[in-house]
Structure 1
Amino acid sequence: MDALELLLNRRSIAKLSAPAPEGVALENIIQAGLRAPDHGNLQPWRFVIAQGEGLSKLSDILLGAAQQENSEQAVLDKVKNAPFRAPMVITVIAKVSEHEKVPAFEQYLSAGCAVQAMQMAAVAQGFQGFWRSGKWMFHPSVHQAFGLEGDDQIVGFLYLGTPGCEPMKAPKRNLSNFVEFM
């Protein structure tokens, strides 16, 4: 797939199955994330890959947070099952450094760009994925489980696997709704 076609037709696919990327394909995905824009060359990223038993560990972390909030059973069930929607989930963390010229905000954006690049690298290699966030990525017990410190922040969970369906066509958007010239 040509790069421009990939970017212009990006769609998330939530129906994912095994296999997940591995070997060179997974390395390419991570390397793409490491090419995200990075003001100050701070390398403000950390990637935690969950697959197999790791998905159960991620499930336990998220479930623990939901239980601490006294969530209803339906929420607990949803949270517990969430990591199993794909054979791999990469938790992308903005590893924030104190820097006089590069505020935390820019470092969060850089980590977000890493997620996008990783998803596009997966699609370019025949895999698919979707980027999820949600309130649990801000929960103190989730932060503790991932060893976050200071201004560190999870920017998302990138679910990856083999597409279980064809992506819907990307909708055409009217540029005039989003663009203005000075």
Structure 2
Amino acid sequence: MDHMSLDFQLVLLRRMADHNPDLVEDARRELGASLADMREANKRWQAMIRSPRARGAASRYRSVLGTPETVLTRKVGDLDCEAWLWPLPLWPDLRFEVLLAPNGAVWNEWLVRAPGASAPELRALEDLTPWSCTVDEAARAFAPARPLEGTAPTRWGLAFTAPDREGIRRECAAEFTWGLLQRLAVR
């Protein structure tokens, strides 16, 4: 794994640490990185995006992650958008996706299920564990889901109703970081 890919995974983990410090700690160890490495990677990332000479988001991802493994066309409303996908060793069944508007602007950047990888079976609240699914998977499994405002730029929320183990339908709010489920609040 190259240094830039490692740094980028540490940046993703840094944002997830607020919700799931134990999972992040295990992942960081799996990558062979220290806490200081994670802090430094995040510091470099923040400096890169805040620099007065900062590249556009699309070219920044290309410079950090290289050429996308896959480039797809996704329909968003009436528009044909380009989706760039990169593998990340920490999450082999997922891909980091950057969705580009027709004018080249980045519309979205998050983790999605890899093409051809099987999605998790999401039938009840108990299936919604941290890091078990992506925003799209939860929204499809428990439609109709309503988007909620995220608490930070890389965070998303979904409100939906899902059955518990006994089949009782409950109101839920799921929080996602970089598109990956972090926690679920049940009312």
TM-score (normalised: structure 1): 0.25
Decide which structure has greater helix share.
1
By relative contact order (CA 8 Å, sep 6+), the higher-ranking structure is 1
TM-score (normalised: structure 2): 0.25
Decide which structure has greater strand share.
2
